[in-house]
Amino acid sequence: MKTIRFIGDVHGKYGPYKRLIAEVPCSIQVGDMGVGFRNWQGDIKGNPPHYAMVAGDHRFIRGNHDNPEECRKHSQWIPDGHIEGKMMFVGGAISIDKHLRQEGYNWWSDEQLSPDDLAYLIEVYEAAKPHTMVTHECPQSIVPAFLGHYKNELEPGGADTRKAFEMMLAIHRPKLWIFGHWHQSLDYTHDGTRFICLAELEHKDIEI
């Protein structure tokens, strides 16, 4: 058992993030770190504090506002589908405002895993039956808990990641599911699973 600090979306605000990780020896950030994210002028908004992250045990998964290619180059990135003990990690989500964004600057066509990749991870999940899920997105059925008026039609491309997570949940219910993406704070238990949604730069220290 060890205590891990879980940190919500950072969105390139690396000063506050650096202060949060300085307080603890171990942390996991749940996506939208801002890796490779460019502003409308084409300038990268900043780079994660690599030295501070590797000086301790501070890692992250990718969100929809992270460049997947740049994440793969980062030593502290946790790959999609990685299993560590009884924890499983999956990044990615859909950007509902992608029609307002520019591909390669602040939106990437592979922001979600492909249907084939998601199908494979469902098999990995079924075999592993993790105690804890750490993801950027959440299962489809959890969204109404904090956004009751939500309609799936708002996402013409389809929320494949959320649907895959819902299939995972039907197979096995983990004790804990931690995610970000929705920019809201949520901590509630449903059918034996504790769901925690972290708002931007929100953090929780949890014994795993």
pLDDT digits (tens, 9 = 90+) for 70-90: 999 999 999 999 999 999 999
| pLDDT recorded at residue 179 | 98
Q: Mean pLDDT for the chain?
A: 90
Average of pLDDT values for 152-162?
Answer: 64
Q: Report the percentage of the chain scoring pLDDT > 70.
A: 89
pLDDT interval class at 156 (50, 70, 90): very low
Token code pair at residue 22: 């300085």
pLDDT digits (tens, 9 = 90+) for 177-189: 999 999 999 999 9
Give CA angle at 126 (163, 176), nearest 5°.
70
* Residue-range domains of the chain with CATH: 3-207 (3.60.21)
DSSP class of residue 125? H
Contact (CB, 8 A) for 41 and 4: no
SS3 of 146-168: the string is CCCCCCHHHCCCCCHHHHHHHHH
In this prediction the pTM is 0.93
With 50 as the cut, is the pLDDT of residue 193 above it?
A: yes
